[in-house]
């Protein structure tokens, strides 16, 4: 089951560049929330603050609070490692581990967390691949095929399976289909539709039609600020802010 | 819900960081020790005598390595005359003309040559020069060291030339400047600081070699300026004195080592200075 | 440069040549252009052939090396055949030669060096690429490279006067006391010997292995590292799964290149190994390597057979290092072409 995310006065910097400004947001559990906005508006940076990936880049700073369920992400006693296990991430370009088989790719996170039992691993790998709608395509060559030998769309679903295997509560997706062809893209979108029953999903996308298709809620970012956050329907048919209207009608970005 | 044994993993993480830092310390400790000892022992053993005198007969004190220093200079000069043109020429060929299979063959061969142990090169120089001339000579030593310089210079020259953008060459050709002129006056000029760096680095590298000199230049207790005769060389002299039973000679070995490392460090620092002035200097 | 040329050119009006000059002038101009063209074509060809000559001379050198080694070792090869490499004998007085002790010495000292150098090199590479503060990175790697600039004979000198006493007074008694049961640490403790040679070789090959390992580790793309981190891993786990694993072929190549260097090292080893052509189990015992025996005996070889045997040893050394270096190059080559490209697919 997914949990909600509460973002309070979140700010983030790259060196001296103020990339994310005073974000106040409540992301609802078990729904998909889309983050849209023009290039450079800070949407990727924002999302990377949710699982503490932003701080892995040198010279960066984060201020404010993020609560995932009952846990303070930036709390004193919270470890980044633990947060990243509970919050899964899928990147723009699929990045399966090329030296590992499909099986090992999915099991990678599990092995890090100490899973050794063969049967348990087999079960979880199968379950994750089914959830990612990849099982049927790879079940006969799980250990023979390397992660990098799959097609682009399959690789991305592999990365989703890999993220799902460690049982996260939240799934962050940073433009997951932008590097894929239309058929793979629609497969991923179907997947997101299925996944939101069990996970809270935040998806960054520059494709407004995609946001309209998969997400119940949408947030519009502009130059680091959250301009509007509402039900997707409202954002795309009757936005409250003029800047939102300008963006979705294509006047810029 | 997955329970991860986080404290254990966190401990492993910290231990590894400690081990890696420890490894770095262990590796850099000999560096400090060697340089420190060299300066300590070397400076103490340096004297005016050392820099101006030739070795005294065995057992007598007060000799020097002046002839070895000069001899090294002579041998390195010969080596450079052989190695630098051949190395740069090969580099030019590989960068400007040698893109296909023959070029790959030459590149591969140069890499092979780079990996040949220096003492084996010494044997070959012996067979080519010492046997035919029927004597040890500075020439033979220069041939051995020159051969060693070729692959180092060739590799770097090729790399530097390839970094010059093709548009520069095309601009020259478009002006009607012939290929050979373009390569020499424009491409080479642009890459010049990088190539000089490479030449100096290879020079510093072979300056310290003694194995290939052992049966080519062989060494000499007296002054010698005849390239066709056995000549003293600094690294060789250090080797002979290091295992000597005489205190004075061992002391001189340290002084010689200090001079040698000084020369190498100076050339490497010059290299850094030349390189930091930028790859694309001059010509424009 | 081109922009400057366009200015003045555009300003001049292009007039047909016939309006400007007389037929004689035109003919002269044409023939001038022709000679300029042919002379530059000639110069181009000459230049190209000159450069080709340089490249060919590299090939010629290697051919010469092989030729001289093969020719000069003929006497010995005919006398002993292949058994030369399996015999344990070295008697210049009686003309009996066998290279087995040297092969043993070379292999053992090189493997000992690898055993000591590899963990340290990978540790240093990991530290300088992933773990240490950015500002220290270039300083530390510069210092490691400085180790590579020290000539072999100076390593030997330092080894004799500093390393050997340390080994003799502290390390060897320690090893004999606690690890003597392995049988590797018996016999008299001179400091000089296989252990001393192995240690100095290790110090000498660390820079090679470290710099190539650093290169292949840096070549691993950020997406791979982030992929591991995002699963909830510690820094070490990220390095282990995301970097070292991806770079493993290149690291293996670096190790083999280090092996190649260790096999061919001459001066420092000669000064520390004790120079006794014997095969002993203990690491404290003196030994002899292929390169060392050549260094010590070549210039005073007793007779042609002796010299020929030494050249045959040189031929063997050449072939061994050739093989090792080729294998290493192939591995390092494949990492910078192959898996790095695959990882970003």
Which residues between 1 and 20 in chain B have a beta carbon less than 8 angstroms from any beta carbon of chain A?
A: 1-6, 9-10
- Both ends of chain B: CA-CA distance in Å? 66
% of chain A at pLDDT higher than 90? 63
State residue C112's pLDDT score: 95
Of B112, B115, B136, B114, nearest to B125 by C-alpha is B136
Q: Mutation test of the interface with chain A: which of B2, B6, B10, B14, choosing the one with the most A Cβ atoms within 10 A?
A: B2
Record: contact B5-A82, CB cut-off 8 A: no
Give B149-169 pLDDT, tens digit per residue.
999 999 889 988 888 888 888
Of A20, A45, A36, nearest to A248 by C-alpha is A36
Full pLDDT tens readout for chain C, 345 residues: 444 444 444 444 555 555 556 777 777 777 766 666 666 778 888 888 888 888 899 999 999 999 999 999 998 888 888 888 888 888 888 888 888 999 999 999 999 999 999 999 999 999 999 888 888 888 888 888 888 889 999 999 999 999 999 999 999 888 888 888 888 888 888 889 999 999 999 999 999 999 999 989 998 999 999 999 999 899 999 999 999 999 998 899 999 999 999 999 999 999 999 999 888 888 899 999 999 999 999 988 878 889 999 999 999 999 999 999 888 888 877 766 544 344 433
Record: contact A81-B1, CB cut-off 8 A: no
A51 or B267: which carries more pLDDT confidence? A51
The subunits that touch chain A, with at least 3 C-beta pairs less than 8 Å apart, are: B, C
Q: Mutation test of the interface with chain B: which of A88, A114, A127, choosing the one with the most B Cβ atoms within 10 A?
A: A114
Of A27, A29, A37, A36, nearest to A7 by C-alpha is A27
Which among C233, C234, C343 is the nearest to A98, CB-wise? C343
Reported confidence tier of residue B21, pLDDT bands at 50, 70, 90: very high
Which residues between 112 and 141 in chain C have a beta carbon less than 8 angstroms from any beta carbon of chain A?
A: 134
Record: contact B4-A79, CB cut-off 8 A: no
A-to-B residue pairs, Cβ atoms closer than 8 angstroms: 22
**Which residue in chain B is spatially nearest to A169 when comparing CA positions?**
B1
State residue A208's pLDDT score: 86
DSSP string, B218-230: B--SS----TTS-
Tokens of A60: 């960066």
State residue B280's pLDDT score: 44
Record: contact B2-A85, CB cut-off 8 A: yes
Place of tokens 């530390």: C140
CB contacts, 8 Å: C226 with chain A: 53, 56, 91, 95
Which among C232, C248, C345 is the nearest to A148, CB-wise? C345
Average pLDDT value over all residues in chain A: 91
The alpha-carbon gap from C94 to the nearest alpha carbon of chain B, in Å, equals 23
State residue C165's pLDDT score: 93
Record: contact C140-B89, CB cut-off 8 A: no
Give A104-140 pLDDT, tens digit per residue.
999 999 998 888 889 999 999 999 999 998 999 998 8
CB contacts, 8 Å: B109 with chain C: 58-59, 62
Phi and psi dihedrals of A59, rounded to 5?
Answer: 70, 30
CB contacts, 8 Å: C1 with chain B: 171, 175, 284
Q: Is C226 on the interface with A (CB under 8 A)?
A: yes
The number of residues in chain C equals 345
Give the ranges where chain A is alpha helix by DSSP (H): 43-50, 80-86, 102-112, 118-131, 135-138, 152-165, 182-195, 208-214, 232-237, 242-248
State residue B283's pLDDT score: 39
Record: contact B6-A79, CB cut-off 8 A: yes
Residues 6 or more apart from A149 whose CB is under 8 A from it? Answer: none
Which among A81, A95, A99 is the nearest to C227, CB-wise? A95
Low-confidence winner among A51-55, A71-75, C42-46, C308-312 (lowest mean pLDDT)? C42-46
State residue A249's pLDDT score: 87
Tell me A216's DSSP state.
S
State residue C154's pLDDT score: 94
CB contacts, 8 Å: B128 with chain C: 64, 68
Alpha carbon distance C284, C288 (integer Å)? 13
Record: contact B115-C295, CB cut-off 8 A: no
Which among B4, B5, B10 is the nearest to A85, CB-wise? B4
The alpha-carbon gap from A148 to the nearest alpha carbon of chain C, in Å, equals 7
The alpha-carbon gap from A175 to the nearest alpha carbon of chain B, in Å, equals 28
Q: What is the CA radius of gyration of chain A?
A: 18
Q: Is the separation of the CB atoms in A217 and A223 below 8 Å?
A: no
Give the sheet arrangement for strand A225-231, strand by strand: A87-90, A170-174, A200-204, A32-36, A217-222, A225-231
Alpha carbon distance C232, C245 (integer Å)? 18
State residue A252's pLDDT score: 64
Tell me C187's DSSP state.
S
Record: contact A91-C241, CB cut-off 8 A: no
Residue A9, sorted as left (phi over 0), alpha (psi -120 to 50) or beta, turns out to be left
Record: contact C54-B124, CB cut-off 8 A: no
**Which residue in chain A is spatially nearest to C245 when comparing CA positions?**
A99
Alpha carbon distance A93, A81 (integer Å)? 22
The ipTM estimated for the assembled molecules is 0.88
Alpha carbon distance A179, B177 (integer Å)? 46
Reported confidence tier of residue B284, pLDDT bands at 50, 70, 90: very low
Give Cα B90 to chain centroid, integer Å.
18
Record: contact A97-C339, CB cut-off 8 A: no
pLDDT mean over A241-250 = 89
Does pTM surpass 0.90?
Answer: no
Phi and psi dihedrals of A54, rounded to 5?
Answer: -60, -35
Phi and psi dihedrals of A213, rounded to 5?
Answer: -75, -40
**Which residue in chain A is spatially nearest to B10 when comparing CA positions?**
A81
The alpha-carbon gap from C97 to the nearest alpha carbon of chain A, in Å, equals 49
Tokens of B204: 């510093």
Of B229, B232, B214, nearest to B123 by C-alpha is B214
Q: Mutation test of the interface with chain A: which of C129, C216, C232, choosing the one with the most A Cβ atoms within 10 A?
A: C232
Alpha carbon distance B282, B151 (integer Å)? 26
Q: Mutation test of the interface with chain B: which of A2, A77, A81, choosing the one with the most B Cβ atoms within 10 A?
A: A81
The subunits that touch chain C, with at least 3 C-beta pairs less than 8 Å apart, are: A, B
Low-confidence winner among A67-71, A204-208, C87-91 (lowest mean pLDDT)? C87-91
**What torsion, rounded to 10 degrees, do the Cα atoms C67, C68, C70, C73 define?**
170
The subunits that touch chain B, with at least 3 C-beta pairs less than 8 Å apart, are: A, C
Q: Is A81 on the interface with B (CB under 8 A)?
A: yes
Q: Which residues pair with C91 in a beta bridge?
A: C96
**Which residue in chain A is spatially nearest to C223 when comparing CA positions?**
A95
Alpha carbon distance B255, A251 (integer Å)? 78
């Amino acid at each position: 089951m997914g949990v909600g995310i509460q973002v309070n006065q979140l700010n983030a910097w790259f060196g001296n560049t103020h990339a994310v400004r005073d974000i106040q947001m409540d992301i609802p559990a078990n729904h998909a929330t889309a983050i849209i906005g023009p290039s450079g508006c800070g949407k990727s940076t924002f999302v990377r603050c949710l699982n503490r990936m932003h701080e892995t880049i040198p010279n960066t700073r984060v201020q404010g609070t993020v609560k995932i369920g009952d846990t303070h992400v930036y709390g004193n006693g919270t470890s980044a490692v633990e947060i990243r296990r509970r919050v899964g991430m899928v990147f723009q370009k699929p990045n399966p581990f090329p030296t590992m088989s499909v099986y090992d790719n999915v099991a990678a996170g599990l092995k890090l967390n100490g899973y050794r039992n063969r049967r348990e691993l087999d079960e979880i790998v199968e379950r994750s691949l089914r959830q990612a709608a990849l099982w049927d395509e790879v079940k006969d060559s799980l250990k023979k095929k390397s992660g990098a030998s799959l097609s682009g769309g399959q690789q991305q679903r592999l990365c989703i399976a890999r993220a799902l295997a460690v049982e996260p509560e939240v799934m962050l997706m940073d433009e997951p289909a932008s590097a894929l062809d239309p058929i793979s893209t629609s497969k991923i979108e179907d997947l997101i539709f299925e996944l939101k029953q069990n996970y809270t999903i935040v998806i960054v996308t520059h494709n407004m039609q995609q946001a309209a298709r998969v997400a119940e809620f949408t947030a519009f970012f502009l130059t680091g600020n959250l301009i509007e956050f509402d039900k997707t329907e409202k954002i795309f048919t009757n936005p409250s802010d003029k800047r939102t209207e300008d963006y979705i009608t294509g006047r810029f970005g | 819900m997955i329970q991860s044994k986080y404290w254990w993993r966190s401990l492993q993480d910290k231990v590894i960081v400690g081990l890696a830092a420890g490894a770095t310390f262990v590796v850099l400790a000999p560096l400090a020790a060697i340089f420190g000892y060299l300066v300590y022992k070397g400076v103490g053993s340096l004297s005016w005598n050392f820099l101006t005198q030739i070795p005294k007969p065995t057992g007598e004190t007060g000799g020097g390595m002046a002839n070895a220093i000069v001899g090294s200079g002579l041998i390195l000069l010969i080596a450079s005359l052989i190695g630098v043109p051949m190395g740069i020429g090969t580099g030019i060929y590989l960068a400007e003309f040698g893109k296909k299979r023959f070029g790959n063959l030459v590149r591969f061969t140069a890499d092979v040559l780079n990996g040949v142990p220096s003492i084996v090169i010494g044997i070959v120089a012996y067979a080519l020069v010492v046997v035919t001339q029927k004597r040890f000579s500075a020439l033979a030593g220069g041939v051995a060291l020159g051969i060693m310089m070729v692959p180092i210079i060739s590799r770097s020259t090729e790399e530097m030339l390839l970094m010059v953008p093709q548009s520069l060459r095309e601009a020259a050709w478009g002006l009607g400047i012939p290929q050979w002129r373009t390569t020499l006056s424009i491409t080479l000029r642009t890459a010049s600081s990088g190539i000089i760096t490479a030449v100096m680095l290879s020079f510093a590298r072979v300056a310290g070699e003694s194995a290939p000199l052992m049966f080519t230049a062989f060494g000499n207790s007296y002054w010698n300026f005849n390239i066709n005769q056995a000549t003293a060389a600094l690294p060789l002299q250090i080797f002979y004195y290091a295992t000597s039973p005489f205190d004075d000679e061992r002391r001189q070995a340290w002084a010689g080592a200090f001079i040698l490392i000084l020369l190498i460090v100076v050339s490497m620092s010059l290299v850094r200075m030349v390189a930091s002035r930028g790859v694309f200097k001059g010509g424009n | 440069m081109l922009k400057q040329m366009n200015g003045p050119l555009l300003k001049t009006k292009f007039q047909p040549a016939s309006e400007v000059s007389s037929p004689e002038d035109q003919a002269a101009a044409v023939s001038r252009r022709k000679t300029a063209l042919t002379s530059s074509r000639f110069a181009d060809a000459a230049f190209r052939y000159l450069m080709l000559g340089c490249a060919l001379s590299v090939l010629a050198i290697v051919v010469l090396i092989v030729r001289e080694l093969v020719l000069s070792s003929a006497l010995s090869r005919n006398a002993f055949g292949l058994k030369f490499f399996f015999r344990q004998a070295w008697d210049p007085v009686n003309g009996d030669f066998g290279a087995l002790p040297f092969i043993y010495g070379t292999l053992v000292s090189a493997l000992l060096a690898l055993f000591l150098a590899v963990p340290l090199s990978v540790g240093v590479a990991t530290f300088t690429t992933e773990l240490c503060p950015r500002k220290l990175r270039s300083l530390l790697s510069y210092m490691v490279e400085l180790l590579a600039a020290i000539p072999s004979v100076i390593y030997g000198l330092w080894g004799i006067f500093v390393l050997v006493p340390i080994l003799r007074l502290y390390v060897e008694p320690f090893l004999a006391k606690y690890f003597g049961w392995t049988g590797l640490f018996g016999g008299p403790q001179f400091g000089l010997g296989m252990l001393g040679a192995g240690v100095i070789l290790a110090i000498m090959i660390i820079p090679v292995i470290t710099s190539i390992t650093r290169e292949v580790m840096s070549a691993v793309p950020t997406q791979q590292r982030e992929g591991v981190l995002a699963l909830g891993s510690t820094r070490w786990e990220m390095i282990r799964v995301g970097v070292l694993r991806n770079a493993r072929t290149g690291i293996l190549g670096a190790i083999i290149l280090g092996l190649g260097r260790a096999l061919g090292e001459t001066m420092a080893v000669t000064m520390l190994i004790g120079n006794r052509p014997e095969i002993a189990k203990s690491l404290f015992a003196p030994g002899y390597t292929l390169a060392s025996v050549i260094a010590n005996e070549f210039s005073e070889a007793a007779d042609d057979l002796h010299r020929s045997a030494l050249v045959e040893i040189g031929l063997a050394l050449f072939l061994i290092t050739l093989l090792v270096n080729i294998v290493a190059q192939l591995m390092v080559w494949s990492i910078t072409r192959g898996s790095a490209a695959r990882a970003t697919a």
